[in-house]
Amino acid sequence: MNYHALFKNKNGKKVRVALVGVGDFGATLIDQSRSIDRISITVICDKDEQRMQDVVRDNCLESPPVMVTDIMADNVPEFDVLVEATGQPEVAAAVAEWAIGKGCHVVMASKEAGIVVGPILSQMAMQKGVVYTEVEGDQPSLLIGLNSWAETLGLEVLAAGKSSEYDFVLEDDDTLCWLGKRYQNSGMLNLWHCPDGDWQKHVARRNTVASNARFPRRTVPDFCELGVVANGTGLVPDKASLHAPLLRPVELADAFQLSGEGGLLKNTGIIDVFNCLRRSDEMSFAGGVFVIVRCENEKTWDLLRGKGHVVAQNTKTAMLFIGQHTLGVEAAMSILSAALLEIPTGALAPKPDVELIARTARDFKKGEILKITDMHHHAVAGLEPELVNAERDQASAPVPYYLATGRKLLKDVKQGTVLSWEMVDIDLNSRLYQLRKQQSDLWFQ
């Protein structure tokens, strides 16, 4: 695709952008915007005034945007596209709804809101004649795009997914490293190859090493992002806890096959995450995204294998990938696509097919607050994320993860229990809940 041609002669319009949230994602967008003639960030919003001042100063912006602490306040400059990057689902949902009501496009970087109410926000945007989209530069939009590219080419997508955020790096002395932590004499050197092609057993052995090292294989953001992808593509989890294997990138086409072929999967048309296993001198997958496609013509894929493509040993599947996600550096693609082409870079019409929920990994007492203990990963100690089929919201149904976090338990909950609506003191006055109710009523009548 020639992007110069794609956006050429669109009236020479400069797109006015309001950015809500100037954390890592927002800061990278502000930095990159200095080099993009077609967009102008006219207003930025953050609760932390000093952080806004710092990012404007650090980027030496010639035309500094107006800085506000409330994007919905009076006298905020006009804009065409709102980029929501707070990562706070309640705030993100309310701000997105407000912007759509104003007739502005919404680029949603806060997937935490998207997994709870993305479909209803998309529906509202269509009715208003504007675009709601996941943001390019983050995995949901990239994977939705890669999947649509493969399907447009007539390739059958058997599986799709992403690599988790931090790699498992194996050193020459058999020390396994993850996010600055080290596990010596890991035994992973002996598991570097899978000689017999039995990926279920081989992955289980690698998982044991990760467990002994106390390195996590599953994080809430991975489940959140893949849930957004599922709702935008029709792909589904193979199991609620996902497989989340430790794999070298060259192994993906072999491991993500059906169990009858020695692979991990019970079904096709699935989504999953893998933890990138590599040596320190090897290139990372960098949180990138992939699809596993069926190799219909052995001659074609033998040719592509010879050119370095990752093709399974049995030549039945191949892995195609985007080996990076670049945060706000790429976000302009979604901004320009929405404002100039009036099309999303993410899902065309997402549906609430899957739900991000929580299962207890310990006993909880009535009155406990489900407080996030790891802000970066949105993790609550004692809760494990799962992706399940969505159903109508009711007392006995699983409660969405991001509606439960931060709330009080109404009863004792035993280990191994899926949290349901009746167990959690939900804030019925929150805009996130009100939008969620509209979504449930619309799709599950």
Question: Is a pLDDT exceeding 70 seen at residue 322?
Answer: yes
Sorted by sequence, the CB contacts under 8 Å of residue 219 that are 6+ apart come out as 164, 165, 377, 379, 385
For residue 341, report the phi and psi dihedrals to the nearest 5 degrees: -105, -15
Backbone angles phi, psi at 97, to 5 degrees: -60, -40
| CB of 168 closer than 8 Å to CB of 210 | yes
Domain 354-443 has CATH 3.90.1210.10: yes
Find the Cα–Cα–Cα–Cα dihedral 403, 407, 408, 411, rounded to 10°.
10
Task: Give whole-number Cα distances, 225 to 34, 289, 373, 392, in Å.
Answer: 28, 11, 20, 21
As a whole-number percent, the residues of the chain with pLDDT over 70 amount to 100
Q: 5-34, pLDDT tens digit by residue?
A: 988 876 777 999 999 999 999 999 999 999
Alpha helices in 163-218 (DSSP H): 199-213
Q: What is the mean pLDDT of residues 112-129?
A: 98
Distance separating alpha carbons of residues 239 and 136, to the nearest angstrom: 27
| pLDDT for residue 44 | 97
Q: Would you say domain 3-137+328-341 falls under CATH 3.40.50.720? A: yes
Name the E strands within 180-298: 181-183, 236-237, 246-247, 270-279, 289-294
At 209-256, the pLDDT tens digits run 999 999 999 999 999 999 999 999 999 999 999 999 999 999 999 999
Average pLDDT (270-281) is: 97
Domain spans, the chain? 3-137+328-341, 141-325, 354-443
- Strands in 65-156 per DSSP E: 66-68, 81-84, 105-108, 132-134
Q: What pLDDT does residue 363 have? A: 98
Is residue 63 pLDDT above 90, yes or no? no
The mean per-residue pLDDT over the stretch 84-94 comes to 97
Are 54 and 31 within 8 A, CB to CB? no
The answer to which of 234-238, 287-291, 373-377 has the lowest mean pLDDT is: 373-377
Q: Which residue has the tokens 């100039």?
A: 340
Average pLDDT of the chain, as a whole number: 95
Domains 3-137+328-341 and 354-443 share a fold: no
The pLDDT tens digits of the residues spanning 134-174 come to 999 999 999 999 999 999 999 999 999 999 989 999 999 99
